[in-house]
């Protein structure tokens, strides 16, 4: 079944995009979603991967990763 949630995860995982997730307790998480299922997702930042339970999340929004200007 194709849901809004499934489409969202498909889009952010299929592109070079970071997300910012705010948890219900106010903590802000930033990284790339690398995998998800019905209850949780894996969030990767630098060399670290976090398991985040979806029921703890208040809001997720994508942010395109800005490329650094090329030095000449």
Look up the CATH number of the domain holding residue 57.
Answer: 2.30.30.100
Do residues 50 and 43 make contact, with C-beta atoms less than 8 angstroms apart?
yes
Question: Do the domain assignments include residue 69?
Answer: no
Please check the confidence at residue 66 and state whether its pLDDT lies above 70: no
**What Å distances lie between residue 12 and 25, 48, 72, CA to CA?**
24, 18, 32
8 belongs to a structural domain: yes
The tens digit of pLDDT for each residue in 22-35 reads 999 999 999 999 99
User: What average pLDDT does the structure give for the chain?
Assistant: 88
Q: Which domain holds residue 18?
A: 4-64
Nearest CA to 32 out of 67, 46, 22, 23 is that of 46
71 within a domain of the structure (yes/no): no
| Domains contained in the chain, number | 1
The whole-number pLDDT of residue 2 equals: 73
Is 51 domain-assigned?
Answer: yes
């Amino acid at each position: 079944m194709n849901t809004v949630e499934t489409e969202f995860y498909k889009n952010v995982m299929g592109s070079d995009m970071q997300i910012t997730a705010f948890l219900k307790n106010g903590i802000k998480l930033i990284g790339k979603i690398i995998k998800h299922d019905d209850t949780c997702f894996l969030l990767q930042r630098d060399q670290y991967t976090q398991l985040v339970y979806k029921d703890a999340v208040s809001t997720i929004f994508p942010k395109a990763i800005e490329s650094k200007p090329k030095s000449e």
